[in-house]
Amino acid sequence: MPGLAAQLADAVLGQYGAGVPDRILLMGKNLLLNAGAASVIGRDHPGCTWLPDDGGSTGSLSAGQVATRFAVTANVSSFDDGHIETLTHPGCVNIGAALGIASLADVTGRDFLTAFLLGCEMEIRLARALAPDALTQGWDLNGVCGTLSATITASLLLRASADMLGN
């Protein structure tokens, strides 16, 4: 029997290939707009002064800088999407990963949205598996699970194989 990572990779890639129902895509568009608006609001937050300046355009930043900038500015005021049960904010982490990869690769809007949504879903599922025990011990599930979900989002957009994603 394949390990847990291989099973997760197969499931995620299977769902990515199958697509996402239109009603879920609509919710995803709203989630993207929410995270994008929170990022615009967060740009001027004093906690974001350390971020690299994009000069008004993300074209001058590396993919990693784009991802970091969007994730931090979308989450800094905690006005972005929130999953109350797990205290995660899946939109900010996964939009950062998706935008970072989209700055490097030719990505369609549907692929972008599907990978983003699957990353958000995986973050919530992983966080639910760890909560509430991890929360009561002081873990930041957005940091723990968001790292994995951002990796899933980026891997889908880079068209990673099941072997690559499972490792």
Residue-level pLDDT, tens digit, the chain, 167 residues:
578 778 878 888 888 888 888 888 888 888 888 888 888 888 888 888 888 776 655 557 787 887 888 888 888 877 666 788 888 888 888 988 898 898 888 999 989 999 999 999 899 999 999 988 988 999 888 888 999 999 999 999 999 888 887 77
* pTM score of the predicted model: 0.82
Which positions ≥6 away from 53 have C-beta within 8 Å? none
Write the single-letter amino acid at 27.
M
Cis bond upstream, residue 90 (ω within 30): no
Which two structure tokens, joined as six digits, stand for 153? Answer: 């989002």
DSSP at 59: G
User: Chain centroid to CA 44: how far?
Assistant: 22
